[in-house]
Amino acid sequence: MTKYNHLFGFKLLICFISAMGILYILYPFVSIVTFFDPQIFAVTIQDSQVQTAFLLSICTASISTALIILFGLPLSYVLSRFDFPGKPVLHMVVIIPLIIPPLASGALLLGVFNPSSVFNKIFPDIEFTQSILGVIIAQTYVASPFLILASMSAFDSVDKSLENMARVLGRKNWQVFFEISLPLAKKGILVGILMSWIRAIGELGATMMLAYNPHTISIQIYEDNALGGLTQAIPSILLSITLSAILILLYSVIMKKTNRNPNEKSIIKLERFWGR
């Protein structure tokens, strides 16, 4: 009976702490209703500047995420599967944008892409600052660690024996990657893509330093709050929240449709190849 009471008390404590954590996350969403003004919302939501900022954020975040996938997936696979001198150092380099303040990231990028930099001398006709390209550069820099780290963890969880078996059966390294490693790590990679995309949407500090104009939705929220207070910023905030919620729901649907065990799929592929 005493053991049961201790177990019940422990569960109750864990549930209470968890409830406090959930309340801490959700309460700001509830409290924001007190600042909601339907008239201001109707006017602001029709403002072309807000709509442009919203669409710009979607486009730039999508391009940034695509760029992160392009270089992040190979890099995460290298960090997961290859051993080489300096690997711990490279791992630390990857997480630098994650651990330094976003404003510091923006300052570093501004040092690289300022009007008197080498890049501007090589490409004088390209505007790296105060441009859409500047927004993409900033978003890509700060959001890249999320995909790289999530994908690296996903590749780490892949059973190496399946990859080795595929090689023994005659598969080339690129076939092993696309037919075995990538499918097995798919869910973790999707999580990384989602996190990077949302982080790019919410990026503010580095973007302010490198490309304050044109406005993204995050800069629009900052400016609305500075000029008209939280009431003025609510419409832009709700747009951001709605977009994130839609993306998370879409991700949940994708996860349910890919609920089959990826290990099983890869084993079936190997068996079919073996039977040839």
Quick: pLDDT tens for 73-129.
Answer: 999 999 998 888 988 899 899 999 999 999 999 999 998 888 888 888 888 888 888
Report residue 97 as tokens: 């944008």
The CATH class given to the 37-274 domain equals: mainly alpha
Tell me which residue of 146, 184, 144, 141 sits closest to 270, measured CA to CA: 184
**Per-residue pLDDT tens digits for 133-167:** 999 999 999 999 999 999 999 999 888 888 888 88
pLDDT band of residue 259 (cuts 50, 70, 90) is: low
Q: Is the dihedral of CA 48, 51, 52, 53 positive or negative?
A: positive
Kindly report the CA angle at 148 between 145 and 153, in degrees rounded to 5? 120
pLDDT of residue 233: 81
Distance CA 13, CA 178 (A): 46
pLDDT band of residue 196 (cuts 50, 70, 90) is: very high
Residue whose entry in the numeric block shows the structure tokens 């999320």:
146
Distance CA 24, CA 205 (A): 24
pLDDT at 275 over 50: no
DSSP 3-state of 246: helix
Burial 1-26 (b: 16+ CB within 10 A, else e): eeeeeeeeeeeeeeeeeeeeeeeeee
| DSSP letter, residue 32 | G
Kindly report the CA angle at 131 between 129 and 133, in degrees rounded to 5? 90
**Per-residue pLDDT tens digits for 4-53:** 566 667 788 898 899 999 999 888 877 777 777 777 777 777 778 888 88
Instruction: Pick 204 or 276 by higher pLDDT.
Output: 204
Distance CA 64, CA 6 (A): 51
DSSP 3-state of 211: coil
Distance CA 206, CA 96 (A): 14
Residues 45, 240: contact at Cβ < 8 Å? no
Residues 199, 61: contact at Cβ < 8 Å? no
pTM of the model: 0.83
Tell me which residue of 33, 46, 29, 57 sits closest to 219, measured CA to CA: 57
Distance CA 39, CA 231 (A): 11
Contacts of 117 (CB under 8 A, 6+ apart): 111, 128
Distance CA 181, CA 165 (A): 12
DSSP 3-state of 129: coil
| Domain boundaries of the chain, sorted by first residue | 37-274
pLDDT band of residue 274 (cuts 50, 70, 90) is: very low
pLDDT of residue 42: 75
